Amino acid sequence: MHHPDPHSYYDSAQPKARRLRLKLGVDFTSKRIDGEVGLEFGGAVSGPLDLDTKGLEIHSVQVPGRGPIPWELGPSDTILGQRLRLDMPEGAQEVTITYTTAVDAMALQWLDPEQTEGKVAPYLFSQCQQIHARTMVPCQDTPLVRIAYKAEVNVPEGLTAVMSAGPTGDEALGNGRHVYRFAMPQPIPSYLLALAVGRLESRDLSPRARVWAEPETVAAAAWEFAGVEDMILKAEGLFGPYPWDRYDMLVLPPSFPYGGMENPRMTFLTPTLLAGDRSLVDVVAHELAHSWTGNLVTNASMEHFWLNEGFTVWAERRILRILHGDDAAALGWAMGQKALEDSLEQFKNEPRLTVLRMHLAGIDPDDAFSSIPYEKGARLVAALEREVGEERFLRFLRDYMDAFRFTSITTEQFCSFVAAKLPGALEAVNARAYLDKPGMPDTAPEFRSVQLDTLTVLAESWPDGGRPSAYQIASWKPTELLVFLQKLPRKLTHADCAWLDEHFQLMGRGNYEILVEWLTLAATADYEPAFPRIREVLLRVGRMKYLRPLYSALGLHPRTRALAREVFAAASPGYHGLSRRVVQGVLEKFLA
Ligand code: BES
Ligand code: ZN
């Protein structure tokens, strides 16, 4: 018995599934999916086969043409769920399982019409990363196993289904139901399985890119992301031809718990990116970059998550540098620095979660999540790039992607490859300090620009009366204002808050990065005029990146604590299960 991924019952002595055939019946009334999955092995197999499931009700397990076979569900582990052990008969090449998902399946959020923009139809979306695919489909739920898939999704007439796959047709069944078919021909890890069903429309942005959203937001989405083809071209210039055919995007309802999710052929995005000025498209650059770093070359398990995210953050800023110049990239690194410092603070009592090469047996990967694999990881990549020079590093990256395309690798495999291709580089940047030591090495690269220095000096002079000039107030771009706010001292007076709001009109900002940074400062200062806006944001948005700092700041004063309690009671039924868990964790610290 060998379990190479601590978050899966997958046994590497057993055969790997190669393809899935999915039939998913989406029932908005019971909030369940009735599923049938066929696992194909690409050859004859036999003996025990262990799959991951969580909360699934298993109805039947059959080998086509040979009837039912024995199966057994193991005890339930709070993190892993239940092992489903099948006993495959000699020579079987595939197996078919019918099942129903649980009402509280973590991968699925079922929205009532009121939680959508249009307020007329329900909505369903999935989020399988890290280990939630097993709540939607019984499978070998580890990135070590890659599968191609075909799917047939049966939904109420009038709703549209999209998946992390190419559409291959749809038809009305005449009974009030509609079937959508999909194919994903390239092998993907299970965490990239994705489905959304709702009232959806699309707009073409280029011959290979399109954006989907509810009819009410699709025009705004098309405008916001109009530059995506340019990004794809720039990314191709860095990493080689785009490997997934189409790059489509779906803008979800506001409860979507992440900023973006790199589902192949269908990036999922939070509607909080629709700032109206294209100032938040770095998230699209990030998800697009995952097409290479993450989806093409994939982490072998969550213990190597930095290989996905650190590389992707580095790639995202590399793309932004080409599109918007060095200053813009430096501001990106500065915002990352703030996130990194916040995460190091958050995990100051858990140093083992601040290393890149993590050891996660017994730890829920969602609890290990932070900006550290992103920002510390990106700094290791940048350090290697600085060490060997940009050109040589890009050539190395192309080799890396060729060598490992459509495979899932460990930190150790990455290091051996670097050692072979860039001898001495790991030692020169002290890679071990990033990979195995907590905190940040003091040799980590710094990113500076004149503009960043100006903003830093000005923000730090706030207690001595330093204030932005009328010219600065009028001319700063959104990211400049954001960096300034991030660098302000946390302790502001009510007069400071009033000054900031009056001069920057912060309360009415449509850019959620700025709005939430401001509201966090205001909550920290116990600044009552901001309370109604804080309530509004927390009731509308489920993105964890915003909920965590806002609720944490509300913990600081008696009346903001009361506000937090009241808002959470009202908002939590609308939050995604993941978001609810994160907020509960924050609240437990101050609402005893
Ligand atoms: N793959 C992540 C989202 C994710 C991570 C989902 C871990 C589940 C578990 C995605 O690519 C991401 O990093 N999104 C960021 C965007 C950003 C760093 C620009 C987000 O959601 O904020
Ligand atoms: Zn990412």
431: burial class by Cβ within 10 Å (0-12, 13-18, 19+)? buried
pLDDT by residue (tens digit) across 156-201?
999 999 999 999 999 999 999 999 999 999 999 999 999 999 999 9
pLDDT by residue (tens digit) across 192-231?
999 999 999 999 999 999 999 999 999 999 999 999 999 9
Q: Is the CB of 554 under 6 A from ligand 1?
A: no
Give the Cα separation of 191 and 260 in Å (integer).
14
pLDDT at 536 over 90: yes
Task: Give the number of the atom of ligand 1 that is nearest the alpha carbon of residue 308.
Answer: 1
Catalytically active residues, by annotation: 287, 374
Residue whose CA is at the smallest distance from ligand 1 atom 2 = 261
Residue 1 has what pLDDT?
Answer: 72
Cα separation values, 331 from 342, 447, 511, 577, Å: 17, 8, 16, 33
Residue 585 has what pLDDT?
Answer: 95
Task: Give the number of the atom of ligand 1 that is nearest the alpha carbon of residue 130.
Answer: 9
Residue 100 has what pLDDT?
Answer: 99
Phi and psi, residue 569, nearest 5°: -60, -40
pTM assigned to the model: 0.98
For ligand 1, the distance from its centroid to the CA atom of residue 315, given in whole angstroms, is 14
Q: Predicted confidence band at 592 (pLDDT cuts at 50, 70, 90)?
A: low
Task: Give the number of the atom of ligand 1 that is nearest the alpha carbon of residue 369.
Answer: 7
Q: How many CA atoms lie within 13 A of 559 on its CB side?
A: 9
Residue 590 has what pLDDT?
Answer: 87
Residue whose CA is at the smallest distance from ligand 1 atom 3 = 261
Q: Supply 315's token pair.
A: 């790639």
Q: Is the CB of 117 under 6 A from ligand 1?
A: no
DSSP 15: P
pLDDT by residue (tens digit) across 547-570?
999 999 999 999 999 999 999 999
Q: How far is CA 3 from the centre of its chain?
A: 25
Helix, strand, or coil here: 449? coil
Q: What's the average model confidence in pLDDT over 363-377?
A: 97
Average pLDDT, rounded, for the chain: 97
Task: Give the number of the atom of ligand 1 that is nearest the alpha carbon of residue 282.
Answer: 19
pLDDT at 85 over 90: yes
Of the chain, the end-to-end C-alpha distance in Å amounts to 44
Cα separation values, 294 from 85, 233, 357, 504, 507, Å: 29, 19, 16, 38, 37
Q: Which of 130, 132, 251, 258 to mutate to test the pocket of ligand 1 (most atoms within 8 A of CB)?
A: 258
Q: What's the average model confidence in pLDDT over 335-357?
A: 95
Residue 396 has what pLDDT?
Answer: 98
| Structure-token match 């291709």, residue found | 421
pLDDT by residue (tens digit) across 278-303?
999 999 999 999 999 999 999 999 99
DSSP 79: T
pLDDT at 60 over 90: yes
Helix, strand, or coil here: 12? coil
458: burial class by Cβ within 10 Å (0-12, 13-18, 19+)? middle
For ligand 2, the distance from its centroid to the CA atom of residue 316, given in whole angstroms, is 9
Cβ atoms of 135 and 155 within 8 Å: the answer is no
Task: Give the number of the atom of ligand 1 that is nearest the alpha carbon of residue 309.
Answer: 13
For ligand 1, the distance from its centroid to the CA atom of residue 288, given in whole angstroms, is 12
Q: Supply 319's token pair.
A: 């793309």
Q: What's the average model confidence in pLDDT over 27-39?
A: 98
Q: Is the CB of 375 under 6 A from ligand 1?
A: no
| Structure-token match 């459509």, residue found | 406
Strands 71-77 and 81-100 turn out to be antiparallel
Q: Is the CB of 314 under 6 A from ligand 1?
A: no
For ligand 2, the distance from its centroid to the CA atom of residue 101, given in whole angstroms, is 27
CB under 8 Å to 539, separation ≥6 — which residues? 567, 570, 571, 574
Residue 363 has what pLDDT?
Answer: 97
For ligand 1, the distance from its centroid to the CA atom of residue 257, given in whole angstroms, is 9
Residue-wise DSSP of 527-588: -GGGHHHHHHHHHH---HHHHHHHHHHHTTSHHHHHHHHHHHHHHGGGS-HHHHHHHHHHHH
Return the bridge partners of 250, or none.
212, 268
pLDDT at 472 over 80: yes
Q: Which of 270, 299, 309, 374 to mutate to test the pocket of ligand 1 (most atoms within 8 A of CB)?
A: 309
Going by C-alpha positions, the residue among 476, 442, 459 that lies closest to residue 327 is 476
Give the Cα separation of 579 and 399 in Å (integer).
39
Q: Is the CB of 369 under 6 A from ligand 1?
A: yes
pLDDT by residue (tens digit) across 133-155?
999 999 999 999 999 999 999 99
Helix, strand, or coil here: 77? strand
From start to end of 241-384, where are the E strands?
A: 247-251, 260-261, 266-269, 297-299
Residue-wise DSSP of 429-479: TTHHHHHHSSS--TT------HHHHHHHHHHHTGGGT----HHHHHH--HH
**DSSP H helices in 347-424:** 365-368, 372-388, 390-404, 411-421
Q: Which of 286, 312, 317 to mutate to test the pocket of ligand 1 (most atoms within 8 A of CB)?
A: 286
Ligand minimally distant from the alpha carbon of residue 284: 1
Q: Is the CB of 513 under 6 A from ligand 1?
A: no
Helix, strand, or coil here: 143? coil
Q: What's the average model confidence in pLDDT over 465-486?
A: 98
Residue whose CA is at the smallest distance from ligand 1 atom 17 = 283
Give the Cα separation of 75 and 55 in Å (integer).
11
